[in-house]
């Protein structure tokens, strides 16, 4: 237990030192977006490297993932691949993915599907409205249908769960 907390402390301490050094350099110079991408990716690689030394320390995947997701966001924006309206879709999807991974690794952790589903349907809604596929007048219909859908799935998977039809019908 002591080595686990020591390793995590080293990672968090290293990330804080890296952040402090970067912010100090940023105070005196203007770092390019690519410098930020490199530093974010390097920080994520460091956290992931420590995780690889002991895979029981799964909590180290959190800073690695967050740093890589932000580095990916900045990269896509700088390359002009990700336009302003779709940044929200990227962010919501990036937040949803770890919850989906939790469920896929252990099917008993079904609770993780709830935040993953909510974040993904909202992200899809933002994307669809920006593409003008989903008119603004139908956003409420989309949201209510998206909320009702899991209740319908609960009933269809097990007909004894008839109670799920009540919220599905109301929505």
| pLDDT attached to residue 3 | 66
| Residues 6+ away with beta carbon under 8 Å from 169 | 148
Residue 61 lies in a domain: yes
Nearest alpha carbon to residue 78 among 125, 39, 37, 18: 37
Would you say residue 94 lies in a domain? no
Q: Is residue 30 part of a domain?
A: yes
76 lies in which domain range? 1-82
CB-based burial label for 65 (10 Å; 0-12, 13-18, 19+):
middle
pLDDT at 43: 87
* 132 belongs to a structural domain: no
Within a domain: 32: yes
The domain total for the chain is 1
* Residue 33 forms part of a structural domain: yes
- Residue 152 in domain: no
pTM flag (> 0.85): no
pLDDT profile of the chain (171 residues), mean per 10 = 71 84 88 92 89 82 91 96 91 92 87 88 94 93 91 89 88 80
What is the predicted pLDDT for the residue at 12?
A: 80
Angle among Cα 92, 95, 96 to the nearest 5 degrees reads 85
In a domain, 129, yes or no: no
For residues 85 and 72, give the distance between their C-alpha atoms in angstroms, rounded to a whole number. 16
């Amino acid at each position: 237990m002591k080595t686990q907390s020591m390793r995590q402390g080293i990672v968090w301490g290293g990330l804080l030192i890296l952040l402090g050094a970067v912010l100090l350099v940023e105070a005196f110079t203007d770092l390019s977006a690519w410098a930020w991408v490199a530093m974010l990716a390097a920080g994520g690689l460091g956290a992931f490297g420590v995780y690889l030394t002991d895979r029981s320390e799964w909590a180290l995947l959190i800073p690695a993932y967050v740093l890589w997701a932000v580095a990916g966001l900045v990269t896509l924006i700088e390359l002009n691949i990700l336009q302003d309206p779709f940044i929200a879709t990227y962010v919501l999807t990036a937040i949803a993915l770890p919850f989906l991974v939790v469920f896929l690794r252990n099917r008993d952790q079904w609770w993780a599907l709830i935040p993953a589903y909510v974040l993904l349907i909202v992200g899809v809604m933002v994307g669809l409205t920006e593409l003008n596929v989903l008119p603004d007048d139908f956003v409420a219909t989309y949201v209510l249908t998206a909320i009702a859908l899991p209740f319908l799935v609960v009933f269809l998977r097990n007909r004894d769960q008839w109670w799920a039809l009540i919220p599905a019908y109301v929505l």
